């Protein structure tokens, strides 16, 4: 894909006229997919695609178009020619963009991961052998994902990486299930077995009669998957410069009233250890790390090129939405083996869903428990808990009432495949929280 992308970039150069400039963003993948149901393969498949988004620029006028590449240079050459002609015509009808900014300092890079995965068929056979006795439902994807950038100034950037993502549930009956995820860049059979064994242990407990608890405040454990949902809400405008300057950030009290989270909370955009490229669609490099929260205090924002132009600051390679793509939360001191003991009596929450803000400026959010949620008594999981709704402020969950974070963290890759496999990732610990509020 890399050499073909460079050939396409050179062909684009030949199609320009006068003072025209182009930028091009490439997305490609060669992926395998398997859907499981009742511990059997129900839908295997593979996908290979290449897309190119071309932005044609003249002065401050610009327009863009996405082209599906066939891999045949003759066919794709005609598609590029047609696209440039259409964009050139469109430029005469669009207003100048006052916030247009693209990289004009040529900084070419190439990164191709040397990590390899076992054959997909071998991994699938291993999964099937391990789950044959269970009602196993899941989705597995693996393969190569690539991103590229090129412009008419001569800049060329390439990034390519192998990854896998197994998202699954073990079902008991009705709506009783234990959900888990295993994702990363190197398949580890021992780690997969550990995760599956934990699921099977929880599956035995979830088959017990469910318990309904009264609304109120409880000590809870939020597993990494539940923490991901909370952090996902924070990322909804939480870390971008634009949302901060327009006072739409849910962290406005941290920005303007110096409110702080617990000192154990430190969060980075850790592109260097993430699942995505170290450059973005206007050609700007992303630093390996951007510190977002340090010891509970809000730090640097993510700055897109458009926000950089609007507010007169330097960009740090954020995308247009200024949403994190490789979040990394620091670990705590709680050993995994001590989670139930530390929780003592309370609620063990594996998953949350349907989250939304109940008071955005106060970073207060509501949502529901999902899948395996357990009542814990004297450090032992004793019964599943029926679905509950919570309503909590981030300043309580990750502030005044945060007890500890786990020393182990989990890498979670996005399972989104709507228009290709996502390159977003998070690495998160679990958390013990006191006085967590359930409303019904």
Domains delineated in the chain: 2-205 (3.30.2290.10), 208-438 (no CATH)
Q: What is the pLDDT of residue 370?
A: 85
Q: What is the pLDDT of residue 418?
A: 84
Say what angle helices 2-15 and 73-91 make with each other, to 10 degrees: 40
Burial status of residue 333 (CB atoms within 10 A of its CB: 0-12, 13-18, 19 or more): exposed
Residues 24-78: tens digit of each pLDDT = 999 999 999 999 999 999 999 999 999 999 999 999 999 999 999 999 999 999 9
Q: What is the pLDDT of residue 90?
A: 96
Q: What is the pLDDT of residue 28?
A: 97
- Tokens of residue 391, six digits: 């309503």
In the block, residue with structure tokens 């015509």: 89
- Compute the average pLDDT of residues 175-191: 94
Say what angle helices 189-206 and 120-131 make with each other, to 10 degrees: 30
- Tokens of residue 357, six digits: 């803000």
7-16 CB contacts, 8 Å cutoff, 24+ apart: 7/73, 8/52, 8/69, 8/73, 8/76, 8/80, 8/150, 9/150, 9/156, 11/73, 11/76, 11/77, 11/80, 12/54, 12/80, 12/84, 12/150, 12/152, 13/152, 15/80, 15/81, 15/84, 16/84, 16/152
d(CA 115, CA 143): 11
Distance in angstroms between the alpha carbons of the first and the last residue of the chain: 53
Q: What is the pLDDT of residue 372?
A: 92
Q: What is the pLDDT of residue 173?
A: 84
In the block, residue with structure tokens 């950089």: 308
Given a contact cutoff of 8 angstroms between Cβ atoms, the answer to whether 178 and 206 are in contact is yes
Residues 122-175: tens digit of each pLDDT = 999 999 999 999 999 999 999 999 999 999 999 999 999 999 999 999 999 888
Residues 70-125: tens digit of each pLDDT = 999 999 999 999 999 999 999 999 999 999 999 999 999 999 988 889 999 999 99
Q: How confident is the model at residue 419 (pLDDT cuts 50, 70, 90)?
A: confident
Given a contact cutoff of 8 angstroms between Cβ atoms, the answer to whether 324 and 289 are in contact is no
Cβ neighbour number for residue 199 with a 10 Å cutoff = 22
d(CA 322, CA 325): 9
Name which of 145, 143, 125, 115 is nearest 192 in CA terms.
125
Residues 259-294: tens digit of each pLDDT = 999 999 999 999 999 999 999 999 999 999 999 999
Q: What is the pLDDT of residue 371?
A: 87
Task: Give me the DSSP letters along 291-352.
Answer: EEEETTEE-PPB--HHHHHHHT----S--TT---SEEEEPP-SB-GGGHHHHH-SEEEEEEE
H helices present in 92-238, as ranges: 120-131, 189-206, 224-235
- Compute the average pLDDT of residues 425-436: 98
């Amino acid at each position: 894909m890399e050499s073909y992308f460079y050939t396409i970039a050179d062909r684009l150069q030949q199609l320009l006229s006068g003072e025209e400039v182009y930028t091009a963003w490439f997305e490609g993948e060669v992926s395998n997919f398997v859907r499981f149901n009742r511990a059997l393969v129900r839908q295997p498949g593979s996908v290979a695609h290449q897309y190119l988004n071309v932005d044609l620029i003249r002065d401050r006028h610009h327009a863009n178009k996405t082209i599906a590449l066939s891999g045949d240079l003759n066919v794709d050459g005609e598609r590029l020619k047609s696209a440039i002609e259409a964009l050139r015509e469109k430029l005469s009808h669009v207003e100048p963009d006052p916030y247009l900014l693209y990289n004009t300092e040529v900084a070419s890079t190439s990164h191709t991961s040397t990590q390899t995965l076992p054959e997909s068929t071998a991994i699938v056979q291993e999964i099937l052998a391990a789950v044959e006795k269970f009602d196993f439902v899941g989705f597995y994807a693996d393969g190569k994902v690539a991103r590229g950038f090129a412009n008419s100034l001569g800049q060329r950037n390439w990034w390519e990486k192998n990854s896998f993502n197994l998202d699954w549930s073990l079902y008991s009956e009705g709506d009783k299930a234990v959900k888990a995820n295993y994702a990363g860049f190197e398949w580890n059979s021992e780690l997969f077995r550990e995760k599956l064994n934990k699921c099977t242990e929880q599956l035995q407990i979830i088959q017990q009669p469910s318990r309904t608890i009264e609304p109120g405040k409880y000590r809870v454990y939020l597993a990494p998957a539940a923490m991901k949902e909370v952090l996902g809400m924070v990322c909804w405008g939480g870390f971008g410069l634009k949302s901060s300057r327009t006072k739409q950030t849910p962290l406005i009290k941290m920005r303007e009233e110096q409110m702080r989270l617990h000192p154990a909370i430190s969060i980075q955009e850790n592109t260097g250890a993430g699942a995505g490229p170290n450059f973005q669609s206007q050609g700007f490099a992303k630093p390996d790390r951007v510190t977002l929260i340090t010891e509970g205090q809000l730090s640097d924002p993510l700055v897109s090129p458009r926000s950089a132009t609007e507010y007169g600051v330097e960009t740090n390679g954020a995308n247009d939405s200024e949403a994190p793509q490789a979040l990394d939360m620091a670990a705590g001191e709680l050993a995994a083996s001590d989670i139930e003991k530390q929780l003592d009596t309370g609620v063990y929450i594996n998953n949350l869903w349907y989250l939304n803000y109940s008071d955005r400026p106060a970073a207060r959010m509501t949502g529901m428990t999902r899948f395996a949620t357990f009542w814990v008594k004297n450090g032992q999981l004793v019964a599943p808990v029926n679905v509950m709704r919570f309503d909590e402020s981030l300043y309580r969950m990750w502030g005044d009432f945060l007890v500890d974070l786990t020393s182990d963290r989990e890498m979670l890759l996005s399972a989104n495949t709507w228009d290709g496999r996502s390159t977003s990732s998070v690495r998160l610990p679990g958390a013990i929280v006191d006085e967590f509020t359930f409303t019904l």
